[in-house]
Homo-oligomer: A and B are copies of this chain.
Amino acid sequence: MASLEDLRAQIDEVDARLIDTIAERLRLVREAAALKAEHKSAAYSKERESYLLHSRAEMAEKAGLPAGLIDDLLLRLLRESYKGKGPAAYACLKPANRPIVIVGGAGAMGRLFSDYFKASGYHVEILEKDGWEQAPQLLGQALAVFVSVPISAAAAVIADTASFIAPDTVLCDFTSVKGPYVKQMLEVHPGPVLGLHPMFGPDIKSLVKQVIVSCGGRGEEQYRFILEQFKLWGAKICTCAPDEHDEAMSIIQALRHFTTYCYGIFLAQLRPPLQQILDLSSPIYRLELEMVGRLFAQDPHLYADIIMSSPRNAELIEAYFASLKPQIDLILQQDKEQFIERFMQARDYFGPYAQKFLQDSGALLAKIQDDWE
């Protein structure tokens, strides 16, 4: 039997080979991406990804690798190749000599989309409050305009913007509430209207697999190229009626952020020593705490805007608060039986998702533990 030193020297050698092989793979993928961009095919193909995962899993099984290992490694490699796309890598689906104008384009979200449009060969113009004297000229020739401003300014900016654009310009907004703003855009602009809600922060590394909600207003034929362009960048388009969107967002964003906010405020009043809490936390509890703490590293105005963006949110939050009292009473009365009965009702509501969530988050925890000490 070899000594530990011998074995470690062999592992060093194998790792060097591993690294060279990975470098070679990335090189080939880059070549393929350049070729795909030339042929205007999409950055991300679900079919190709499924094929790769499936065929490699078969190869790995034959080689005696444990189940799931090659999938994880391959997905990590694929992420690298999505992320690595350079500015020349996307096709332009609507070549035109009219610009894409992003109103509020100097903000983080505006900049993200500006970069993507530029990387696809569009002529992009940024319009800010500061340079508003250029509005008539820039907006007048725009192919499409994206209003990307804080929600508190959205109504005024949409009205101003609409007054300068041509009847065939596609008017879009990125506001996180869709009902009132899609309605307003339809009122102030006779041409194509598209409400959009990018469901991510501007700090993402790539649009691949990110959700953009699309609430079409008018002129599907004229605005379609925008959604197709988003898909080409790898985003997932979710089409939805404006009111349906708003109802779901009250839950997904407003209520969830509000409860996280409240939890953080309470901890800040209690002031338990954070490092001790972390030391005592296994991965699942650490993740719970991270999800709370991360909110407070971000822009408070953004969260105030999201939570207070509609009367519907306030109603939902009030209803949530009212629902708590019976649960508090359970704990004070140590009523385990009722606790379990309500638990089972909620399990019933979550249905097969509860088990799926447990499995998915279990896999996730195994993964993040690699990183944490």
Contacts and interface: CB of A to CB of B under 8 A. Distances in A.
A218 to B, nearest CB: 22
Contact of A354 (B10, B213, B247, B294): B294
Given A56-B15, A259-B263, A332 B314 contact: yes
A371 to B, nearest CB: 6
Interface in A1-35: 1-4, 7-8, 10-12, 14-26, 28-29, 31-32, 35
A8 B23 contact: no
Instruction: Enumerate the 7 nearest inter-chain pairs by beta-carbon distance, A residue then B residue, closest first.
Output: A268-B349, A75-B370, A199-B282, A293-B357, A297-B354, A297-B358, A300-B343
Contacts of A354: 293-294, 296-297
Nearest to A274: B353
Nearest to A266: B323
Contacts of A21: 14, 17-18, 21
Interface string A273-306: 0101111111111011111111011101101100
Given A7-B35, A353-B293, A361-B291, A70 B370 contact: no
A203 B366 CA distance: 11
A39 to B, nearest CB: 8
A46 interface: yes
Contact of A371 (B75, B201, B283, B348): B75
A336 B308 CA distance: 8
Interface in A302-344: 303-304, 307-308, 313-314, 317-321, 323-325, 327-328, 331-332, 334, 336, 339-340, 342-344
A163 interface: no
- Residue among A271, A301, A319, A353 having the largest count of chain B Cβ atoms under 10 Å: A353
A267 B346 contact: yes
Number of copies of this kind of chain in the complex: 2
11 contacts: A16-B59, A22-B70, A23-B63, A79-B366, A251-B277, A290-B357, A294-B357, A300-B347, A308-B331, A318-B328, A321-B325
A26 B65 contact: yes
What is the size category of the interface that chain A forms with chain B? 35 or more
A313 to B, nearest CB: 7
Interface stretch (A96-104, A131-139, A204-212): A204-212
Nearest to A79: B370
A291 B290 contact: no
A225 interface: no
Contact of A370 (B29, B35, B78, B303): B78
Contacts of A343: 261, 265, 296, 300, 303-304
A291 to B, nearest CB: 7
A363 B371 contact: yes
A73 B75 CA distance: 10
Nearest to A15: B56
Nearest to A83: B66
Contact of A19 (B59, B76, B297, B358): B59
B366 A199 contact: no
A331 B355 contact: no
Given A7-B31, A266-B319, 7 more contacts: A7-B28, A11-B29, A17-B21, A18-B22, A205-B366, A213-B280, A287-B291
